[in-house]
Amino acid sequence: MSEHHPPLAQTGQGEFVALAKVTKTQGRKGEVAAALLTDFPERFATRRQLLALHQNGRRSQLELEDHWFHKGGVVLKFAGVDSISQAETLVGCEIQIPRAERAELPEGSVYISDLVGCVVSDGGREIGRIRDVQFGAGEAPLLLIEAAGKREFLVPFATEFLENLDLERKQVSMKLPAGLLDLSRE
């Protein structure tokens, strides 16, 4: 992570946090291959109780027997899932944990899901609400802020612009350079 912005960790929103998404069956003994959706894949070593969010919205409890990393993803073996046909029922599922069980972040870091929904102000004037965080456009991630009248602003989440971050109250106070908000997307 760059030292020019507060470190961000990715997770889902809501009551549960997605760790992986099952993409296909793997092998003949019920294993599944999954894309990683967590910045903390090493925590699979200590997690045994996981949840599967099925495409129909139903959640089921799973017990992780084994896992290993393969080709940038993870292969998961769950108790009671012992055949290809049983594993096929998990394809497309998100593998989740309750939000309360997510990894503790180092001081000064923040989860993206905690930023989404926060109200952003500039010098005390409300700009709008964070809808998303985008990466890859420069040193700092960009906050996609949705304002009234369908206006959108892309604002760098840079330490030098950040005045106060109150996640409990869902508020982000910034001091932005003059003219930055004139570059809005409509």
Residue 7's nearest CA partner among 118, 139, 117, 132 is: 139
Residue 3's nearest CA partner among 136, 134, 156, 158 is: 158
pLDDT recorded at residue 138: 67
* Count of domains forming the chain: 2
pLDDT recorded at residue 59: 95
135 domain residue, yes or no? yes
Pair 37, 74 in one domain: yes
The two three-digit tokens of residue 177, written as one number: 């350079």
Q: Is the model's pTM score more than 0.85?
A: no
pLDDT recorded at residue 33: 97
CATH of the domain at 156: 2.30.30.240
pLDDT recorded at residue 79: 97
pLDDT recorded at residue 1: 33
pLDDT recorded at residue 137: 62
| Range 148-157 burial, b when 16+ CB lie within 10 A, else e | eeeeebbbbb
- Of 36, 68, 101, which closes a domain? 101
173 domain residue, yes or no? yes
- Of 101, 124, 141, which closes a domain? 101
Residue 8's nearest CA partner among 95, 160, 116 is: 116
Pair 92, 133 in one domain: no
Torsion of CA 55, 56, 61, 64, to 10 degrees: -20
pLDDT in tens, 27-68: 999 999 999 888 789 989 999 999 999 999 999 999 999 999
- Residue 154 domain boundaries: 116-183
Q: How many CB atoms lie within 10 A of CB 70?
A: 12
Pair 96, 38 in one domain: yes
CATH of the domain at 52: 2.40.30.60
According to DSSP, the β-strands at 125-134 and 119-122 are: antiparallel
Contact between residue 81 and residue 90 where contact means Cβ atoms under 8 Å apart: yes
Pair 35, 93 in one domain: yes
Strand (E) or helix (H) holding 175: none
Which stretches of the chain drop beneath a pLDDT of 50?
1-3, 12
